[in-house]
Amino acid sequence: MNMFSEIKGVVSVRDAASFYGLKVNNNGMCVCPFHADKNPSMKVDKRFHCFGCSADGDVINFVQRMFNLNAKEAAIKIIEDFHLGIVTGRKETESEKNERIRTGKKKEYEKKIREAYLLELKKFHNRLSEIHRLLVEWEKKYSPSKEQWEMNFIDRRYSTALYYKNRIEYILDVLDYGEDEEIYEEYKHRKETIDYYERKITEVK
């Protein structure tokens, strides 16, 4: 396996985009750094593709374009920045080796913490989405007829849907498109948030 294949096997474009300062949302979308992009139009995963300017490629291509490098320079930058330990032809000093090992362990720990955070965030998002879908269903199913409106006979499931649906949509928008600090604020209160809405639903079932 050559140097380029090794790199692409362990570092995705999404990893590189986050590492080099791009904000990637939960859907894997980010603002494209290769044109004047105001809204996230680039999809990043193992590869990248911009739906605005059609930029496309793998992680080597991504770093090449980000830093105006040739392919080999981009590969070396990724190896050194991510402390991959892949042979590049330059002999590593003992201090560099020790630093690479220390940094590698630190990054591995941070990666595990990040993965655990993203997993919990996904569970929170999924449960909120389920509750939102239920409220949308209630709004349609229990919408009062003209006669019921006139008689002031409103099913509580309908009024509950109207009252809470938009509030949940706001939280979901924050989780999908908010700044990291905003997302984390919602994440910190995820248990209380879910408990609150589940209780409201249970009260009217």
What is the predicted pLDDT for the residue at 5? 87
What is the predicted pLDDT for the residue at 109? 84
What is the predicted pLDDT for the residue at 192? 96
From residue 45, give the alpha-carbon distance in Å to each of 26, 120, 139, 188: 11, 20, 37, 27
pLDDT tens across 56-113, in order?
Answer: 999 999 999 999 999 988 998 999 888 887 766 656 667 766 776 787 788 788 888 9
For residues 63-92, one letter each, b for 16 or more C-beta atoms within 10 angstroms of the residue's C-beta and e for the rest, the string is bbebeeeeeeebbbbbbeebbbebeeeeee
Mean pLDDT in the chain? Answer: 90
pLDDT tens across 114-153, in order?
Answer: 899 999 999 999 999 999 999 999 999 999 988 888 888 8
Q: Is residue 2 over pLDDT 80?
A: no
Q: Is residue 194 over pLDDT 70?
A: yes
Can you tell me the mean pLDDT for 190-201? Answer: 95
For residues 124-137, one letter each, b for 16 or more C-beta atoms within 10 angstroms of the residue's C-beta and e for the rest, the string is bbeebeebbebbee
pTM of the model: 0.54
Distance CA 198, CA 44 (A): 34
Q: What percent of the chain has pLDDT over 70?
A: 95
What is the predicted pLDDT for the residue at 100? 67
